[in-house]
Chain A
Amino acid sequence: MEDLKIGVYVCNCGTNIAHVIDAESVKNYAATLPGVKIARSYRYMCSNPGQEMIVEDIRSQGLNRVVVAACSPRMHERTFRNACRTAGLNPYLCEMANIREQCSWVHNDSVAATEKAMALTRAAVLRVACQEPLEGLTAEMCPTTLVLGGGIAGLTAALELADGGFPVVIVERADRLGGNLTRVDLTAPHFDSARDLVRERIAHVRGNPNVTVMLRSELRSLSGFVGNFTAEIATNGGKPTKVRVGNVVVATGYKEFDASRVTHFGYGKLPNVITSFDFERMLRAGRIETKDGRLPQYAAIIHCVGSRSEEFHAYCSRVCCMTALKYANEIKSAIPTCYVSDLYIDMHAFGKGCEDFYKRSSEAKTLFLMYGKGDHPVIRRAASTDDCDMLIEVEEKLSGEHIEIPADLVILMVGMEARADAADVAHVVNISQDKSGWFIESHPKLDPVATTTDGVYIAGTCAAPKDIPDTVAQARAAAARILAKIAKGKIEIDGVFAEVNEEQCSGCRMCNELCPYSAIEFDADKKRSHVIPAACKACGACVAACPSAAIKGRHFTDAQIFAQIEGVLL
């Protein structure tokens, strides 16, 4: 190995570091450390002159390692790695000592802070001596995308990708496309036909030669890594066929809450207590009627059935409030003499045009009654002397009164819940579920359609309850993410990943199960495990767990961390 020629650069960060830490002393101390050829301090290392200083020193002094004692690596590691790359030095031969966020900004005592800065710099010098040049890898990107689910989310994502000129395979469990939306009549707040929306999507999908639709099919397994997955898809429960895909969009949707779980509403017992989906069927058939074929004189709509409750689901299902207003409007226009009451906890009208819709509905003589979140209306059969089928008792919150309202038809606004098979899907594509069963995104705000498994995206209601516009936006977002990757042609894999030393591997397979990304494969012939670099996220769980110490965590090796330990404690 060639002699170490380390350059150490101590940043003053204006006065951010230098007002507490004696940067000159740190620099002078660094110059005495083993392998250090040059040590400098400067006002702002991250500035152009600061970076040029490093580049120039690498070139003229032949430096082969660089330490920058400055801010957090989370701030400027990339900056200094790039400076090294510019000068022709492998960027992984650069190390930072965090003497700002974790030293000068948190300690007032100059002497102690300077001493700590020296220790951190020393640790970085000892560590960088053990660092190795690393190269990233590139892999092919298969342009085919697998879309799980043929509802509005899956159809939209598939069309976006297919229109971009790339092959898509839609895998749908049911025997037809369209998903839950085919069960809905009109949409809120503009009364567009849901069926038209879906039909238009299906027609385009059917007419697009890039899309293959597999009905009555399910994904049995997914192996490989981003750009290079192999999917095993079984149709009609038969023998699975293998399809090579680069990315996956999970758009498996939701199922509606089972209203019979709420015993006090009498769903399944009282014939004229129905769910929102039962009512959609009625609307599609074109006649709103009671079980025995009469026109209801009194209709009541109850919100939050299964949603926003301690007992069932704590979350809001987001679409039911506006759907309930849609029903109130539809009942009023079909049966102008019908009295409609709407029993809600809170009216959530957050979408575009929804507040206006609420206002219009309020003016249309619907009786709005507010009930408490912990409370619930009680439905009972009316007496034969009453002119209605049922009576609903409610503690009305706004008036503070106990109110009894008549009803011939009660519509329960059932919420959304994760599908029963969501756990299986999560397991097969290796993504996570939250406590309610919804799939978890990579970042709730900044990365809402990616998951922790590279190449697997989520869209629509499988991630959480949402309305059609949000679902479509997510589907298009997932497609856009994939199109961007396909456009690049190849995938770049970071140089930091785990490696198995096959000489040392005992084939115990402990790491296989431990890896959250299924990035470690077992070669049954060789009886050895190996890491798939593109799937590895470099967490290091396998490195620490391997009983044979056969796994090396690149850039976080035992030797590098031991050097750091020695450095901070010397």
Chain B
Amino acid sequence: MSYEPKLVGFLCNWCSYTGADLAGTSRIQYPPNIRIIRVMCSARIDPSFILQSLGKGADGVLICGCHPGDCHYSEGNYKAMRRYPLLKRLLDAYGIEHERVRLEWVSASEGQRFADVVADMTERLRALGPCRVKTALATDQIER
């Protein structure tokens, strides 16, 4: 069977989730590879959510929040923004391609942009190939 990347998206309620809904009401098509999980703010996105997703078989994780300056909670997106580089370094340290995790700002009016981001990321994950974390964890369990 050909490889279909699995993409988990963590979207803030106020901008990005609404933007994704707008893609729907505007009937903008994008690849079905993404599975969206709603959080109230991108600041809620604990790095463990990303690691858990990769560990459970995701090939990539998309984090979306309000554009800088537009956060519903005034500055939660800045917190997400500061965590992201640290997370990328952590991924690198574990030998996981940091391109698998991406932070994008999507406003409530950017349905097209959301669809474009998902399409682009799906293609990049397709090129990267499957993420090995889940299988590595399984092998590790057996060896122990």
Query: Per-residue CB proximity of A530-546 to B under 8 Å, as 1/0?
Result: 00000001111101110
Neighbouring A residues of B83 by C-beta, 8 Å: 544
How many Å lie between the Cα of A566 and that of B53 in the bound state?
Answer: 8
The answer to whether B56 touches A565, judged by C-beta atoms less than 8 angstroms apart, is yes
Neighbouring A residues of B31 by C-beta, 8 Å: 107
The answer to whether B28 touches A106, judged by C-beta atoms less than 8 angstroms apart, is yes
The answer to whether A568 touches B8, judged by C-beta atoms less than 8 angstroms apart, is yes
Neighbouring B residues of A74 by C-beta, 8 Å: 13, 17-18, 21
How many Å lie between the Cα of A561 and that of B38 in the bound state?
Answer: 9
Chain A: interface size category: 35 or more
The answer to whether A564 touches B27, judged by C-beta atoms less than 8 angstroms apart, is no
- Is B140 engaged at the interface, CB distance under 8 Å to the other chain? no
Query: With contacts A116-B32, A544-B45 known, is A537 near B73, CB below 8 A?
Result: yes
The answer to whether B32 touches A541, judged by C-beta atoms less than 8 angstroms apart, is no
Neighbouring B residues of A101 by C-beta, 8 Å: 20-21, 23-25
- Is A243 engaged at the interface, CB distance under 8 Å to the other chain? no
The answer to whether A113 touches B32, judged by C-beta atoms less than 8 angstroms apart, is yes
How many Å lie between the Cα of A109 and that of B31 in the bound state?
Answer: 9
Query: Per-residue CB proximity of B36-53 to A under 8 Å, as 1/0?
Result: 111111011110110011
The answer to whether B25 touches A105, judged by C-beta atoms less than 8 angstroms apart, is yes
How many Å lie between the Cα of A72 and that of B20 in the bound state?
Answer: 10
Neighbouring B residues of A539 by C-beta, 8 Å: 40-41, 43-44, 72-73, 76
Q: In whole Å, how far is A493's beta carbon from the nearest beta carbon of chain B?
A: 16
Closest to A119 in B: B35
Neighbouring B residues of A538 by C-beta, 8 Å: 40
Q: In whole Å, how far is B31's beta carbon from the nearest beta carbon of chain A?
A: 8
Neighbouring A residues of B135 by C-beta, 8 Å: none
Give which listed residue, B29, B49, B73, B74, contacts A565 with CB less than 8 A: B49
The answer to whether A102 touches B36, judged by C-beta atoms less than 8 angstroms apart, is yes
How many Å lie between the Cα of A514 and that of B73 in the bound state?
Answer: 11
- Is B126 engaged at the interface, CB distance under 8 Å to the other chain? no
The answer to whether A569 touches B8, judged by C-beta atoms less than 8 angstroms apart, is yes
Within 8 A of B (CB), among A93-113: 98, 100-103, 105-109, 112-113
Query: With contacts A107-B29, A544-B45 known, is A102 near B21, CB below 8 A?
Result: yes
Query: With contacts A514-B79, A544-B44, A565-B52 known, is A106 near B38, CB below 8 A?
Result: no
How many Å lie between the Cα of A558 and that of B101 in the bound state?
Answer: 19
How many Å lie between the Cα of A492 and that of B44 in the bound state?
Answer: 24
How many Å lie between the Cα of A73 and that of B46 in the bound state?
Answer: 22
Could you say which of B8, B27, B40 has the most chain A C-beta atoms within 10 Å of its C-beta?
B40
How many Å lie between the Cα of A569 and that of B30 in the bound state?
Answer: 19
Within 8 A of A (CB), among B3-33: 6, 8, 13, 17-18, 20-21, 23-25, 27-32
How many Å lie between the Cα of A181 and that of B18 in the bound state?
Answer: 43
- Is A180 engaged at the interface, CB distance under 8 Å to the other chain? no
Give which listed residue, A72, A109, A541, A565, contacts B44 with CB less than 8 A: A541
The answer to whether A120 touches B79, judged by C-beta atoms less than 8 angstroms apart, is no
Neighbouring B residues of A537 by C-beta, 8 Å: 73
- Is A167 engaged at the interface, CB distance under 8 Å to the other chain? no
The answer to whether B41 touches A116, judged by C-beta atoms less than 8 angstroms apart, is no
Q: In whole Å, how far is B106's beta carbon from the nearest beta carbon of chain A?
A: 13
Give which listed residue, B25, B41, B75, contacts A540 with CB less than 8 A: B41
- Is B121 engaged at the interface, CB distance under 8 Å to the other chain? no
Within 8 A of A (CB), among B69-98: 72-76, 79, 83
Query: With contacts A123-B37, A539-B73, A565-B56 known, is A72 near B21, CB below 8 A?
Result: yes
- Is B57 engaged at the interface, CB distance under 8 Å to the other chain? yes
The answer to whether A561 touches B74, judged by C-beta atoms less than 8 angstroms apart, is no
- Is A253 engaged at the interface, CB distance under 8 Å to the other chain? no
Closest to A452 in B: B74
Neighbouring B residues of A564 by C-beta, 8 Å: 37
- Is A44 engaged at the interface, CB distance under 8 Å to the other chain? no
Give which listed residue, A72, A112, A516, A561, contacts B32 with CB less than 8 A: A112
Neighbouring A residues of B57 by C-beta, 8 Å: 569
The answer to whether B27 touches A556, judged by C-beta atoms less than 8 angstroms apart, is no
How many Å lie between the Cα of A569 and that of B56 in the bound state?
Answer: 7
Query: With contacts A516-B74, A541-B73, A569-B57 known, is A98 near B40, CB below 8 A?
Result: no
Q: In whole Å, how far is B81's beta carbon from the nearest beta carbon of chain A?
A: 12
Q: In whole Å, how far is A435's beta carbon from the nearest beta carbon of chain B?
A: 8
Which 6 residue pairs spanning A and B have beta carbons closest together? A540-B44, A101-B24, A568-B35, A541-B43, A105-B24, A539-B41
Q: A106-B23, A517-B73, A569-B8 provided; 18 other pairs, C-beta below 8 A?
A: A98-B21, A102-B21, A105-B25, A106-B24, A106-B115, A115-B32, A452-B74, A516-B75, A539-B76, A541-B41, A541-B44, A544-B46, A556-B40, A565-B49, A568-B35, A569-B35, A569-B57, A569-B58
Q: Give the B-binding residues of A (Cβ under 8 A).
A: 72-74, 98, 100-103, 105-109, 112-113, 115-116, 119-120, 123, 432, 452, 514, 516-517, 537-541, 543-545, 553, 556, 558, 561-562, 564-566, 568-569
> Could you show 12 A-B contacts with beta carbons less than 8 Å apart?
A105-B27, A106-B23, A106-B27, A106-B115, A109-B32, A123-B35, A516-B74, A540-B39, A541-B43, A545-B79, A565-B58, A569-B6
